[in-house]
Amino acid sequence: MTARPTPPNGVLLWRGATRACAVCGRRGLTRRWVTLRDDCPRCGFHFERKPGHFTGAVGMSTIVTFGLLLLTLIVGMSIQWPDLRSGPLLAVMIPIAVVVPLIFHPTAKTLWVAIDLTMKPLEPGEAVGGPEEGSA
Ligand SMILES: [Zn+2]
């Protein structure tokens, strides 16, 4: 069995960042927004390539969330300077800390799959053939 060709890195990353299957471009991979399907309905690619595969996605989600919290802290302190009050900052930062990981979680997973594919191309039998969807 021959391996399906792995798309170019730019295509992989675009598809991952837009919550599409990195291999074939299929969209609609989540259930109730946060749950990524186990396999792509079109190409059959199994997203969790090995146990613990999505640890990288958790790391990316953490980096994005903490980055937004840091940005919020810097902007909030700059606006309030020199009379710093923690209440308004917490009123903004706590919802960010709760909501951003939930919203970003599925994107982090599809993006992590794409990043993984840039480093470790498809192997024979990982995805079935078929026409790829457009350019996205
Ligand atoms: Zn697919």
**Pairing outcome for strands 30-31 and 35-36:** antiparallel
Distance 8 CA to ligand 1 centre (A): 15
Report residue 30: phi and psi, to 5°. -115, 155
- Residue 51 neighbours by CB under 8 Å, 6+ apart: none
pLDDT for residue 4: 83
User: Which neighbouring-strand residues pair with 39?
Assistant: 46
Distance 31 CA to ligand 1 centre (A): 16
40: part of which helix (H) or strand (E)?
A: none
Distance 85 CA to ligand 1 centre (A): 49
Distance 28 CA to ligand 1 centre (A): 10
Q: What is the pLDDT along the chain (136 residues), one digit of tens a residue?
A: 567 889 999 999 999 999 999 999 999 998 887 889 999 999 999 999 999 999 999 999 999 999 999 999 999 999 999 999 999 999 999 999 999 999 999 999 999 999 999 999 999 889 886 545 444 4
Distance 39 CA to ligand 1 centre (A): 8
pLDDT for residue 133: 46
pLDDT for residue 111: 96
The rounded distance, in Å, linking the Cα atoms of 101 and 14 is 20
Distance 20 CA to ligand 1 centre (A): 8
Distance 117 CA to ligand 1 centre (A): 12
pLDDT for residue 113: 96
Report residue 31: phi and psi, to 5°. -110, 130
Question: Helices 55-80 and 86-119 sit at what angle, rounded to 10 degrees?
Answer: 150
